[in-house]
């Protein structure tokens, strides 16, 4: 698979159109893999830009307010931002592992049963590793165990 990072740098998530399958097209052909790689790279880049913006914002806005209520409001705001960034950090790791699946030609197939996950499901959730059926079973089991 060619390295398309320079090409992907020009894309944003809003400019990438959903992949339109052609009749008789082989599943996870080079065009599909390139599409999902571009999508994942753009998503990752946007998340990284958001991390940079948050760090700049927190540095610029950090102030030692004399009023305890103002200080508490700022700490709560920063806490929420940091929690959001932590979730995004985990998502970036998942995107990175998905990009590795693309490189190894294992992308698009269910980890549990090996069937095709499907283009539409991957468009909705590019980091999906389970087909709809296996994900549904997984969620049912989770509900049964969790109560």
pLDDT at 5: 44
40 within 8 A of 102, measured Cβ to Cβ: yes
The helix/strand/coil state of 6 is helix
CA 107/CA 104 separation, integer angstroms: 8
Q: For residue range 27-64, list pLDDT tens digits in order.
A: 999 999 999 999 999 999 999 998 888 877 777 777 77
Residue 94 has pLDDT above 50, yes or no: yes
Give me the domains of the chain, ranges plus CATH numbers: 26-107 (1.20.120.910), 109-147 (no CATH)
Which pair of tokens denotes residue 28?
């996870």
Strand partners, 116: 109
Which pair of tokens denotes residue 122?
């991957």
65 or 93, greater pLDDT: 93
Eight-state DSSP code of residue 91: H
pLDDT at 11: 60
Centroid of chain to Cα 56: 23
CA 111/CA 133 separation, integer angstroms: 12
68 within 8 A of 105, measured Cβ to Cβ: no
Please return the burial class of 40, using the count of CB atoms within 10 Å of its CB with bins 0-12, 13-18 and 19+. Answer: buried
Q: For residue range 100-132, list pLDDT tens digits in order.
A: 999 999 999 999 999 999 999 999 999 999 999
Nearest to 63 by CA among 55, 52, 73, 71: 71
Mean pLDDT along residues 69-81? 87
Centroid of chain to Cα 94: 7
Residue with tokens 């909705």: 124
Whole-angstrom CA distances from 61 to 40, 55, 64, 93, 108 are 31, 10, 10, 28, 43
Q: What is the pTM of this model?
A: 0.79
pLDDT at 3: 47
């Amino acid at each position: 698979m060619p390295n398309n990072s320079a090409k992907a740098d020009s894309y944003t998530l809003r400019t990438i159109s959903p992949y339109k399958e052609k009749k008789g097209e082989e599943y996870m052909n080079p065009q599909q893999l390139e599409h999902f790689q571009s999508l994942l790279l753009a998503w990752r880049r946007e998340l990284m830009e958001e991390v940079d913006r948050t760090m700049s914002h927190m540095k610029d806005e950090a102030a030692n307010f004399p009023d305890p209520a103002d200080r508490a409001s700022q700490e709560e705001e920063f806490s929420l931002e940091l929690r959001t960034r932590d979730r995004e950090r985990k998502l970036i790791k998942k995107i990175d592992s998905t990009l590795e699946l693309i490189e190894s030609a294992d992308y698009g197939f269910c980890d549990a049963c090996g069937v095709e996950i499907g283009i539409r499901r991957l468009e909705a959730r590019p980091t999906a590793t389970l087909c709809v059926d296996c994900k549904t079973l997984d969620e049912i089991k989770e509900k049964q165990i969790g109560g």
